[in-house]
Amino acid sequence: MRNIWKIYFVLLFIVVSTSSCSNDDKVEPIFENAVDERVQKRLSNYKKILVAPEFGWKIAYQPTGEFGVFNIYIKFNEDGTTIISSDSKKGVNDLPSKYRISISQFPELVLENYTVFHELFEVNNFGLGAEFEFLFEDVQPDRVLLKSKTDAQEKSEIILEKASANDKINIENLRGLDDRISNGFGTDLFFRSIKINSPNGQELASGSFSYNFEARTATIQYLGSQGDIVTEVIPIILTQEGFDFVEPVSIGGQTIKNFIYDELSNTFVSNVGGILSTVLYSNEPGLLFFPESNTFGTRAGFEFYIYFDSSSSNFLRQTSQNFLNLGLASGFSRLDLRFNDVRFGGISYFEFEMNNGDTIFAIFEKQVTENEKITFNFSGIATDPQDADFSGLTDMFNLLFDPNGWYVERTNESRFSSNPSFLLTNTANPEFRFSVYGI
């Protein structure tokens, strides 16, 4: 009897256990379905919010605090497409794109086709910090906060604000206005200065001014109170009237933020209580400070440089038209600049590759004026073949060996990280400039 009861309890345990397992199998899919339904409901709600605004969304996109602001308009359509307008590069990459709202680890918004967001993502070898894949952070009917999906450390933010009827056209009206800020706009004068004057015309401060088109930043250099060189890299935002610094900047004790463009004088002016800060062009640099001159042609920099003319895909476009034309008229397409060449006893020289196959060597000795300029002092000619005619290079020789010398500055033209670019500007005739690669 006792054995019969043992068998009975064993069978009962097996039946209960089997029943429990069977019930678990039925409950789990229900739970998974519930989670999936909640996720899909959330994603659907995000899309509903993005699509809802009649006039779309406006964005003041500043990928990181180091760079300027790009104004962007975006309209999300129910069919998964977008309409985009921006003030970047005259809207050339304001292309329609499909968008996707989905989830990987977190809910995300992805622009799937090439747009201005992708363009900004690629700037400066992906150094701008821009993004086209975003994570939803906070979603409200009139404001959506997104964060970068791919930033490894602190994730950059982008804020979508509900647009009004005029925001799209207002952003489109900003297209091309950064041309006015670009170096060399509307003038043959190369150098730009910023001068700050009191109401009675007394100069309070001055310095150099330049504009980085892709990063949308201004660089100002001026003398500090201790006689040191102060460099400010300042993010800006375009306006219909001119441009603003994203945050106020103090120069020479004067706080500046808003500039208005004066078309007649081709200047930007900020007027704060009668104190005028003016960005203008000049024949002379606003600040005589070119520290690249100290290391140009040395082991601390590079001892070999190459200039290509416009027939090459490697042509550097900060080269002035005057220099380019003179080079073309002189009959060469490539110019090498070598310092301390140990193959020939440590001499320095320009090497001209002539279009007819000849090679001309113009030998010089380098002279440096610290933090200011470099001068090439002519010392002789060598040719290959020996009877090669170099008479066509006379004007080029006169320019390169000008005793007034050359300013040297590093530029961001080169697309090769190991071969940076440098711009040489003739101090007496700054309309003659040429850019070279450091090799």
Total number of domains in the chain: 3
- pLDDT score, position 152: 65
Backbone angles phi, psi at 409, to 5 degrees: -145, 145
CA distances for 73 relative to 167, 235, 243, angstroms: 7, 20, 19
Whether residue 14 is predicted with pLDDT greater than 90 in this model: the reply is no
191 has which bridge partners? 282
- Residue-wise pLDDT for 145-168, tens only, equals 999 998 766 778 999 999 999 999
Task: Assess whether pLDDT exceeds 80 at residue 28.
Answer: no
Distance CA 212, CA 177 (A): 14
pLDDT bin (cut points 50, 70, 90) of residue 170 is very high
Q: What is the pLDDT of residue 32?
A: 52
What count of other Cβ atoms lies within 10 Å of the Cβ of residue 80? 14
Q: Check pLDDT > 60 for residue 58.
A: yes
pLDDT in tens, 93-123: 999 999 999 988 899 999 999 999 999 998 8
The answer on 190 and 160 residing in a single domain is no
> What is the pLDDT confidence band of residue 75, given thresholds at 50, 70 and 90?
very high
Average of per-residue pLDDT across 407-419: 90
Please report whether residue 355 resides in a domain.
yes
Same domain, yes or no: 308 and 433: yes
Q: Which of 264, 282, 300 is the last residue of a domain?
A: 282
Residues 195 and 163 in one domain: no
Residue 1 lies in a domain: no
CATH number at residue 199: 2.40.128
What does the pLDDT average to over 282-287? Answer: 87
On whether both 162 and 187 belong to a single domain, the answer is: no
- Report CA-CA distances (Å) from 309 to 104, 202, 325, 394: 49, 45, 9, 18
Residue where a domain terminates, one of 175, 206, 238: 175
What percent of the chain has a predicted confidence (pLDDT) above 70?
91
Whether residue 206 is contained in a domain is answered as: yes
Q: Mean pLDDT over all residues of the chain?
A: 89
> Is the same domain home to 165 and 186?
no
Evaluate if pTM is beyond 0.85: no
One domain for residues 276 and 323: no
Domain residue limits at 204: 179-282
The predicted structure's pLDDT at residue 95: 93
Q: What pLDDT is recorded for position 8?
A: 41
User: In the chain, what are the helix, strand and coil shares in percent, each to the nearest 5?
Assistant: 25, 40, 35
